[in-house]
Structure 1
């Protein structure tokens, strides 16, 4: 009996692990019915293979009425929506709902001024166009005046329009009836004309040969040249203030010319501006300058002869023109569209709203409750000022130097600002960061570590500096440690200060005397470290092409190599894949590996770091920060990515946070994500809000619930799973309380 049982068991065991020759024979032994079923299943799988994972697709999306305060629910219909599909929200700043209309001008809309209910547009080689805005949602071109040359800039003197037409000089156009403009005459200039303005039969002309020319146009058909004045740089714009003519001269700033006697003008004060000057407008004794390198500068024009800069709000790209109404300045900010700046306190302007533009915004004008924006090849945009979005992302401060590192304390934010030393910002919630103090350093400030009111600086060839910031307005150097090679990175480990040098040396200092670190021990690393962090008795270093290095600090006088996880990518196969930064989050280390993405390493056993996952398909992962279970990756080539790392082995991208420049370092503080770009300043980025599936509607839509507070506004809604995502931008949401 036992023998027969063993004989019957054999075919079953073989069927589970069939051999090539005997398998079918044993299967037949199970009976022809089972055999036919298995064959049918095999043929079905070959004919209809299982689909690989697919990304969700959104067909419709709507907000459901709130069932309880503070909870937002969205109903989504679409394809490939499975139980593991999740949702994220990111606050938009583009403000597309505020755009009432877009009017193609079939040219290059370069400048714009108002004449009653009409707008006059300098449209490059198509001359000047008259646009009716009586119905702001349906603007229309009602007249065109073709002119010689390239219409570049506009200004009005009474009922005469002055058109700067580059090589064709200045055209004088009668706009007494804007619907029927007529050419009166032309001022011929020997160099291309960039700008003109007029008053009392006098016209002030700025040309590319760095000259101010003044003409008498009492006879428009025969303008008379009164004087010529050489300028220090190419003049882009000018404005008459009393008997002074203030000229925006690009990087040379403002130049003041005394024009009390138009036949004998005199050069006056020159005011260097940190952002240069593209154009200027005035309100009372204040001047508002669109910075040629980006942003807005506020100038005190009183008393004459001693004008001075009151404030500078920087932006990363060139600004062209500014208009002021009440306590708001409206800035045509080139590629950044329209920026609306609060200037109630002219010493501390801040960006309140931003509207993206499809073109290059070069001029702005205000009429009733709308703003008109000249956007180059995209024509004109009409923007409803009652529908402006709350700002979620924008550069707030600009620095000429490349920021190496940003660290956040409880009330202050610290920037390692290269040759500019240490920059200190306030960290007040719900207000834009502002500079409160700076201190120059002898070297190039690379990194820092913060301990209470002391900041330790890795100052390159300047060694390690100890800065007291108990008075952040006046930081003081209170200690210094010389180094044989430039210091590149720092970290704290209990009562120890850890440092690395370009030579590859790792150093451990005692902070028994916090103002005078004392060297305890050192270790030569496999290569120069780019970043360092620590937890417990171990330090974790990003060591370029050597990957992750773990140091045992249990004996600070004799640190030793505990473990290493080298980069699996040869530089020949993946150039620029060095380990740039290491971030500890729980028992995981996340390493930014440049073109190789992000490596995720289990360091629960420091001596045996294990690679458990990675994030690929990034341009160049350069910097990292984390908050809750979200990892933020600064990609030098493609904005800032946010990943859900609640399961570190399977990170999911939940959002892409657009930026206006290449981000080099990021930090999370006080519920805000701070990002610093290459020479473009510090930005606030929105934090993604995640939602989970809650159920279904009667119509079969999947319902996603968001339990975190959501402010009313426009959002990008993203559905995602492990295979991809779909998104919808500009979705208007209530805050869940209605």
Structure 2
């Protein structure tokens, strides 16, 4: 096998060189044949809701790992928060805080932002010498991450700094170049500063309230005793107002989609009587609630007008009415976050389904007018979905969802989308292999994980005892064969390599492996597209510790039992789509091959063959596109599935 791999590598390299030289020569001598036009867009905020802060009637929420990490809400009516803006902010902020009398601070280890709140509805990023003293203190003396990120507060000329020793150091930073240590709180690190009180979290208690009106002489006014409480308290999720203390709580989750129990992954909020803060304990607990049947990760809280606003990293923004602590209820929720990473199409109904790999939802998108795609409804399942989903009879959507942390589970979900505005869960089947691709052939669903399901009752797939003789990352079908691509299959020698397996399913429940083709070792995303006699693979090659580089591979499947690699192109160097770290994805409309890359480019190619080698002739290009994992298309349109948006691209001559 080793000798075969060496021969294949040499031949494929020669083939790729021949194809690229021919393609580049042709491209230089003629104008593009295709006009690719960016014509529509639907934005769905990506990331994880990690922190909230309030200034007057405006709420600010930061999204970690997001393209637009700062969200601005109007909360004059707490039960109907209105999203005003999605804004840029440096880095991937994990927290946001109000500093001084008009500044918003967003912070993470890879970037800080300071915003002027003169107009609270339109935060303005500051530059130059503008900003509070905190902006100008020495970042070598004071660590940005994790200290500033998670355990530091500031107001005007006072800095409350959480140290590596688990203490709070209080500094006068009126002269930010010469901070003066005023006092130390030895029992914990700062979490929240609001008015005269500083909430400190430490070993003695996750919530200690300190009066800091005189920063040089802070004194403890009370701490929450947690013994006897029916939940755990999260020290970062703390707020107070109107004589009450509000905290985020963590509890066990008895069941999620029929599996469980799962320890400490459910969350909610609790309310304590804080009129006498020295008595905070189970005896002053007024009420509490947990989100039912849900994974949640409530990180921070804000109180306003009888309501608690919570950043839930597993969902987005949640709003609780706490005016009656004995009957706390969620009264509003704004789904924000995730990352678009899965797709399927119902072409007759002009519906696009997109899934997410973070805090997952599946969105139903109307593409009747591709220039104005719009969300009709969504189903939130909390898990992650990658690759391709499958649609049966234009009504049932199948996707494999999993969660590796913290609880671990993998299941096949069936979603009934008869009413696209209210997609409903039809069934969940546990104990399935992790899969990132699936295809439906007649009444059978095949997954890249190797499972086979009978769809005689499409609402309730039945897993068959027989499996495919191989597994992989992605799967495609051309009668009567399944093609299963694995970017990192284990060899008998204990090495890893890519492999394409061909499975004959003329007898649907007796699949037979008929061929395997060695491929380069890869990483993560694989897409597949048939065009004429070839199968094209969008790959991310990885070797010798190098970062992923996008790769397109052409396989001749004229005789599927003897597949042959007849072309290989690196998209950066060979296809003139330069990117330092990239993944390639492919799609075809039956005439042209479309190659996209992770960061910004989409190219169209005519596919030719000469002397046994495949040539890719460039015929169109579109650049400056948003980052995306994959794409699909229908009826003369390409839909680029970006991390935070769907971009509609018109194919025209």
- Indicate the TM-score class for this superposition, using the shorter chain for normalisation: 0.3 to 0.5
Q: TM-score when scaled to structure 1?
A: 0.43
Q: TM-score when scaled to structure 2?
A: 0.47
Q: Which protein has the larger Cα radius of gyration, Structure 1 or Structure 2?
A: 1
